[in-house]
Amino acid sequence: MGKTNIFNAFFLGVEDLTNKVVKSKYNPFYYHGALPQFIMYILFLSGLLLFAYYVPTVDNAYSSLNLVNAFTSVDYITNKIPFGAVIRGVHRYAGDAMVVAIVLHAVRVWFTDRFRQYRWVQWISGIVLLIMVLFIGQTGYYLIWDERSLLLTRMTVSAFDSVPFIGESLKHWFMNGRTITNLTLSNFLFIHIGLSFTLLFALWIHYVRMTRPVITPPPALNYILMAIVFAVVYMVPITATRMADLNATPTMMDVDLFFLWPYQILAAAGPLGYWFWMVVIFGALCLVPLPMFYGSKPVEAAEVVNDKCVGCRLCSLDCPYQAIEMVPAPAGSRFKLLATVKPFRCSGCGVCVGACAFDAIDLPNMEDAEVTARIKQLVEA
C-alpha cells in the first residue's frame, strides 16, 4: 500500500521536524483541511464589508464627478472608507491564500494516502469545491470593472460561446442578456455571493462522511494566518487601474495566477483548447481515487455479531467514517437497537472493535479473541 512511499515519507519527515519546534497541537500540517475553512470565514467577513459599499453598474457614458458605477464605488472604498484599502487587500490575498491552502490540502491528502476507497466522496467533493472557488475568484475580478475585468469578461464570453450545442445559451446566461450591461454586473455579483454561500452546501457534502471533522485550527494558527495576510497587504498594496470602457479593446495584462491561470490557457490555446485542457485536468483529478491505478488492498469491512450486540451505540458514535448505523433490533431481541456496518464506508480501522465491550463486532482478518490469545501467548513466551 502507500504507507511507505517516498512522498508520504517526505511529509512525515517535515512534520516530525515541525513537531520538534512547535508541539503537535500547533502543527499546521495537521490542520491542512481546517485552514481553508478558516480562510473562508475571513473571505466572508471581508467580503461582507466590501459588499456594503459596492455598486454593480457599468455606466460611464458621462464621466462626471458624480458618476457612480462599480469602478467608482470600488475606488471610493479604497480611498475614502477608513481601512477600505486594507479590507480590499485582505479580501484579495485571503482569496489567493485560499487557493494555496486548498492545493496544499489536496497535496497532503494525496501524498499521505488519504483519498482511497471509503474516502472518495471527500475527494470528489473537494474537486468540485476547488472549481467553485476558482470561479468565485474569477467573478471577483470581474466585479472591479476595470480594464482587466472587461478583458476577462470578453474572454469568458468567447469561451462559453464555443461550447457545442449550449454555447449560445451559456453566453447569454453569463452576460444576462445579449451584451454587457448593468444586468451583467449584477449577475456577476449574484454569482460571486450566491456561489460563495453554495460553498457551504458543498462543504456539507465534503464533511458528511466524517464524524467530528476538524474544521477549526487552534487560535494561534489563525492569528498567524491573519498576520500573513496583513503582511502581504503591506508588501503588495492595491495599485490603481483604469475604468473599463466598453468601446475600447484592452489587451492582456499581468494577471493573478492563483485564480486566473485558466485565462492564460484560454489565451494560449483558444476556446476549444481551453475546454479540452479543463476537462482533462479536472477529469484526471476526479479519477485519482480509482483503485485500479494504485492497486490498493481492498478493505475488509467490520462485521457485527448480531447475537452479541446489545445496542449500546458506542461503535456507531466512535466510527470515524459514519460507517455504522443503529437500526431497530429484530423482533424477539432483548435489546432495542442493533448495529449494522455499511461496508463501502468502512475503512477497516477497528475503532469499533476497540469500542465494543461485548465482543460483538470484529474485523474479519483480525478477531479480537485471536489478538487477546496472541497477547497472552507473548507474555508467557
Q: Which of residues 321-380 bind other proteins (CB under 8 A)?
A: 321, 347-351, 353-357, 363, 366, 368, 371-372, 374-376, 378-380
DSSP state of 339: E
Cell of 45: 467577513
Residues of span 2-21 touching other proteins by CB under 8 A: 3, 9, 12-13, 15-16, 19, 21
CB of residue 108 to other proteins, shortest distance in Å: 10
Residues 130, 205, 108, 15, CA torsion sign: positive
**Contact residue for other proteins among 10, 22, 168, 252 (CB under 8 A):** 22
Rounded to the nearest 10°, the torsion over CA 118, 124, 129, 134 is 150
Interaction mask 112-151, other proteins, x per CB under 8 A: xxx-------------------------------------
Part of the chain binding other proteins (CB under 8 A), chosen from 53-61, 190-198, 221-229, 268-276: 221-229
The residues in 287-306 that bind other proteins, with binding defined as CB under 8 A, are none
Residues 6+ apart with CB under 8 A from 154: none
Query: At how many degrees (to 10) do helices 147-161 and 257-287 cross?
Result: 30
Q: How many residues bind other proteins (CB under 8 A)?
A: 78
Q: How far is the CB of 375 from other proteins (least distance, A)?
A: 5
CB 325 within 8 A of CB 291: no
Q: Which is nearer to other proteins, 154 or 374 (CB)?
A: 374
Selected from 234, 298, 332, 334, the binder of other proteins by CB under 8 A is 234
Minimum distance from residue 353 beta carbon to other proteins (Å): 5
For residue 132, which of 121, 144, 143, 140 has the smallest C-alpha distance? 140
Please identify, among the stretches 44-52, 164-172, 185-193, 226-234, the one whose residues bind other proteins according to the rule CB under 8 A: 226-234
For strands 324-328 and 337-341, give the pairing: antiparallel
Residues 177, 237, 273, 291: which binds other proteins (CB under 8 A)? 237
Q: How far is the CB of 18 from other proteins (least distance, A)?
A: 10
DSSP track, 256-287: -HHHHHHHHHHHHHHHHHHHHHHHHHHHHHHH
Q: Which residues, other chains included, contact 290 with Cβ-Cβ below 8 Å and sequence gap of 6+?
A: none
Residue of 85, 135, 98, 104 whose CA lies nearest to 236: 85
* Interface characters, 90-109, with other proteins (x: CB under 8 A): x-------------------
> In the range 187-216, which residues lie near other proteins by CB under 8 A?
210-212, 214
**Closest distance of CB 354 from other proteins, Å:** 5
We find the least distance from the C-beta atom of residue 91 to other proteins, in angstroms, to be 13
Cβ proximity to other proteins: between 178 and 212 the closer is 212
Dihedrals phi, psi of 2, to nearest 5 degrees = -85, 15
Which residues, 6 or more positions from 93, have their beta carbon under 8 angstroms from its beta carbon?
229, 232, 233, 236
Q: Other C-beta atoms within 10 Å of 265: how many? A: 17
Residue 306 CB, nearest distance to other proteins (Å)? 20
Nearer to other proteins, 132 or 301 (CB): 301
Q: Are 271 and 161 in contact (CB under 8 A)?
A: yes
Closer residue to other proteins in complex, CB, 115/263: 115
Closer to other proteins by CB, 89 or 311: give it.
89
Rg (CA), the chain: 26
